[in-house]
Structure 1
Amino acid sequence: MSDKMFLSDNETVVDAVSSAEVKQFRCLECDKTFPLKKSLNQHAVVHSGVKNFECDECGNRFARKGGLTQHLLIHSRVKKFKCDACGKLFAHKNILTQHLLIHSGVKNFKCDECGKQFAHKSSLTQHLLIHSGVKKFKCGECGNRFARKGSLAEHLLIHSGVKKFKCDECGKLFAHKNILTRHLLIHSGVKNFKCDECGKRFADKSSLTQHLLIHSGVKKFMCDECGKLFAHKSNLTQHLLVHSGVKNFKCDECGKRFTQKENLTRHLLIHSEVKNFKCDECAKYNGTQLLPLTVEVLRSLLVDASVRQLHDTADKA
């Protein structure tokens, strides 16, 4: 920190409001003004980077004792400042004041990297960590890394098993409210994000981004059991059920069990009278196919397999 922030008695770098005959002492780092020189000098500690006051609850450190005192209200669970717009409660009045900007719709802080805008400068500062590529917060459960401590804290809810946000449409539970919000797009039927490779559409951008990995050919998730590679970790997780032998999805018609729900869904077509796929060789139909919503490539593979099975059976007969 430069010495210029601390004003001596004979320094002239002050702003005076002559009409009120009140001197305002301005911080040369951030332009914030104070009625007393003592207040300015106390404030200057914020820019020094020195944080001598540590919270015994969470380890957060603060430059001023007053900052620590205010912070401790968060752990006390006392939240007496209420937002009239949404009912959310806050431990500090200044946090409520910042929160109100969200409802105003004013977002004056723009990210030069991606154009995203924010209501608070602190939110922009936090967001910029994503573009930095630095992820110093690691999850002890799965090894995933995060740019922000808050993101890690949210992620840990997944491992806790606590899912308190419920979808009113289908009853599915989620650990995070933002995941529920994204999930609700599925029920809306709106799919604004289109894949330029295959034309498939998605309700949110993150789903499209994940889907694009399929076309990239990159498969970095490997099964330790059989060596098979997958583009998504979720696909590997589903695949591991095959090796576990656990089959929780049972067909009520014939009792056959499956490791994955989609396999049961596909199997149920056998019991239905729906036979949408015709063999060009023998004019026979088979109904063991997925519904039209499935990936086209997978549909083609399944049809080919069914055709081969039909012809093999006919040859043996």
Structure 2
Amino acid sequence: MNSPDSARDVSIKQEPEDISIKQEPEDHPHLNILHTVVCKEEVSTELERSPSLLQEEPEPPHIKEEQEELKEEHKELLQRPEEPVGSTFTLVVVHDKDTSSHCSEVELESDTEVTEDSEDWEETSEDDDDEQCDKSFSVSGSLNKHQRVHTGEKPFQCQHCNKSFSESSHLKRHQRIHTGEKPFQCKHCNKSFSQSGGLKRHQYVHTGEKPFQCKHCNKSFIQSGALKRHQCIHTGEKPFHCKHCNKSFSQSGGLKRHQYVHTGEKPFQCKDCNKRFSVSGELKTHQRVHTGEKPFQCKDCNKSFIRSNDMKKHQRIHTGEKPFHCKLCDKSFSESGSLAKHQRIHTGEKPFQCKHCDKSFTESTHLKTHLRVHSGEKPFCCKHCNKSFSQSGILKTHLRVHSGEKPFQCKHCNKSFSQSGDLKIHQRVHTGEKPFQCKHCDKRFNVSSNLNSHLGVHSSHRTKIICPL
């Protein structure tokens, strides 16, 4: 029979009663073995060998209760669903030093990932406190990720474009740009997204929900970023400054587009005609020229337009609105561009100059039309007789020869004309106006051609036309 002296010593931790959780270093990310060592079984073996130990040191009731609670905790851990591989934890139960302790030690190497949001674990590492900002975390791995904010470390690099990220999950999302993967699909319209956040924002389109509301005007928005940009209207804040001209903008996108003015960069190219644009919206609008799409329709006459701004200008025809006023003659215009052109009449400015004959014009379109005189270009062709013209307006007038249309009617005699100029000349018959005066005899004429014929009377070298027969 074995004596008490021959029994193996049982090591008991003499520390205050507590349950502590210690996180082992994250050196084994792929362990998936549950190894349990219960010291109580070892102690029970010694008690069987030496009954005297059982008599001298009876097991306190509260020890048994705590061991039962610990077993229940172990069952809960085993019943948890499998998740990505996480860290190794050691759970140690230590009892009061006044009693003979029977420790239960469980070494858990689980597949349970402990995230930053977990409230089930209490971190005891002394490295949790970030000396720079005092932010705290429940998991050391989360602290490691956070510290990259301060160090600027980006250890995860994209193999396609060498862009780096501070977290592996960010790299994974980025790689979907290269692969085209869009795993998040809308159940309403089957539209797919590369990120769950993009799907969530998209779903507001179907629900009509606008959860972000402006506190100044109660306007609501689908995205928080849109609300933030909107609030700059109320605050007047323009935090984005151009380093070239010190111009400020309320949005970073506005600054980025503005900088193309200085760099001359036009990164958006039309695939149909290779024309380039500095703003993606301008490219989108331009592409409607090729597709023929006119999504903006006038509600008064159903006329359609490529641009919303063009429709807005058109609607002033129906409303009669002329919000742009000339300060020199009080004449009003429906478009700001028309006012700018008009003001050149007062200033005499002709900024558009022909490089062939030094002739100048008040409008760029007039110069463009004039250049066809030198080039001989006649891009506007009649589909009825194939006659060509240098101006679209001349073609439009010519088409009335084929159609017989005479839209310009005299209010005095109801005679009609195909051209407004012909009506104007005709009206001089009724008014008696003769604006063309001879510089030699002060005789006046209602048509310039009649004046030119008259000038031959005063010429000493009149051309004689000889009959060829």
Closer/same/farther in 2, CA of residues 276 and 308 from structure 1, 3 Å limit: closer
Tell me the CA shift for residue 213 of structure 1.
0.7
Closer/same/farther in 2, CA of residues 311 and 148 from structure 1, 3 Å limit: same
Partner of 1:44: 174
TM-score, normalising length: structure 1: 0.52
**Cα offsets for 1:38-86 (capped at 9, x unmatched):** 7634652575472636889999874324324424545777667677999
CA contact (8 A) 1:55 1:68 kept: yes
Partner of 1:161: 303
Q: Does 1:94 align with 2:248?
A: no
Partner of 2:451: 307
Partner of 2:389: 229
Choose which of 394, 416, 435 in structure 2 pairs with 1:276: 435
Counterpart CA distance in 2 for 1:211 and 1:271 is 33
Choose which of 214, 219, 231 in structure 1 pairs with 2:369: 214
Q: Does 1:70 align with 2:201?
A: yes
Matches within 5 A, 1:128-167: 131=266, 134-136=269-271, 148-152=283-287, 156-157=294-295, 161-162=303-304, 163=311, 166-167=315-316
CA contact (8 A) 1:250 1:256 kept: yes
Query: Where in structure 1 are there 5+ consecutive unaligned residues?
Result: 1-8, 10-14, 139-145, 174-180, 202-207, 289-302, 313-317
Counterpart CA distance in 2 for 1:172 and 1:102 is 27
Counterpart CA distance in 1 for 2:191 and 2:257 is 16
Please give the root-mean-square deviation of Cα atoms over the aligned residues, in Å. 5.6
Closer/same/farther in 2, CA of residues 283 and 258 from structure 1, 3 Å limit: same
Tell me the CA shift for residue 230 of structure 1.
2.2
TM-score, normalising length: structure 2: 0.39
Closer/same/farther in 2, CA of residues 135 and 20 from structure 1, 3 Å limit: same
Which structure has more relative contact order (CA 8 Å, sep 6+)? It is 2
Q: Report the 3-state secondary structure (helix = DSSP H, G, I; strand = E; otherwise coil) of the residue aligned with 2:225.
A: helix
Bigger-Rg structure (1/2): 2
Q: Does 1:247 align with 2:377?
A: no
Q: Does 1:194 align with 2:350?
A: yes
Amino acid at match of 1:249: F
Amino acid at match of 1:20: K
Amino acid at match of 1:247: K
Closer/same/farther in 2, CA of residues 77 and 270 from structure 1, 3 Å limit: farther
Tell me the CA shift for residue 156 of structure 1.
1.2
CA contact (8 A) 1:51 1:64 kept: no
CA contact (8 A) 1:109 1:119 kept: no
Closer/same/farther in 2, CA of residues 281 and 64 from structure 1, 3 Å limit: farther
Q: Report the 3-state secondary structure (helix = DSSP H, G, I; strand = E; otherwise coil) of the residue aligned with 1:156.
A: coil
Tell me the percent identity.
Answer: 23
CA contact (8 A) 2:425 2:446 kept: no
Counterpart CA distance in 2 for 1:70 and 1:131 is 30
Amino acid at match of 2:437: K
Amino acid at match of 2:303: G
**Cα offsets for 1:141-185 (capped at 9, x unmatched):** xxxxx9622444696147861445533897279xxxxxxx98144
Name the count of aligned residue pairs: 257
**Cα offsets for 1:166-213 (capped at 9, x unmatched):** 33897279xxxxxxx981443575448733434543xxxxxx332321
Q: Report the 3-state secondary structure (helix = DSSP H, G, I; strand = E; otherwise coil) of the residue aligned with 1:167.
A: helix
Tell me the CA shift for residue 20 of structure 1.
2.5
Q: Report the 3-state secondary structure (helix = DSSP H, G, I; strand = E; otherwise coil) of the residue aligned with 2:294.
A: helix
Counterpart CA distance in 1 for 2:231 and 2:267 is 29
Counterpart CA distance in 2 for 1:83 and 1:238 is 55
Tell me the CA shift for residue 271 of structure 1.
3.7
Q: Does 1:19 align with 2:134?
A: yes
Closer/same/farther in 2, CA of residues 229 and 131 from structure 1, 3 Å limit: farther
CA contact (8 A) 1:111 1:117 kept: no
Counterpart CA distance in 2 for 1:59 and 1:111 is 44
CA contact (8 A) 1:70 1:92 kept: yes
Counterpart CA distance in 2 for 1:254 and 1:211 is 35
Q: Report the 3-state secondary structure (helix = DSSP H, G, I; strand = E; otherwise coil) of the residue aligned with 2:366.
A: helix
Q: Report the 3-state secondary structure (helix = DSSP H, G, I; strand = E; otherwise coil) of the residue aligned with 2:413.
A: coil
Query: Where in structure 2 are there 5+ consecutive unaligned residues?
Result: 1-85, 87-129, 138-145, 158-163, 274-280, 305-310, 323-332, 354-358, 457-469
Amino acid at match of 2:415: K
Counterpart CA distance in 2 for 1:194 and 1:84 is 50
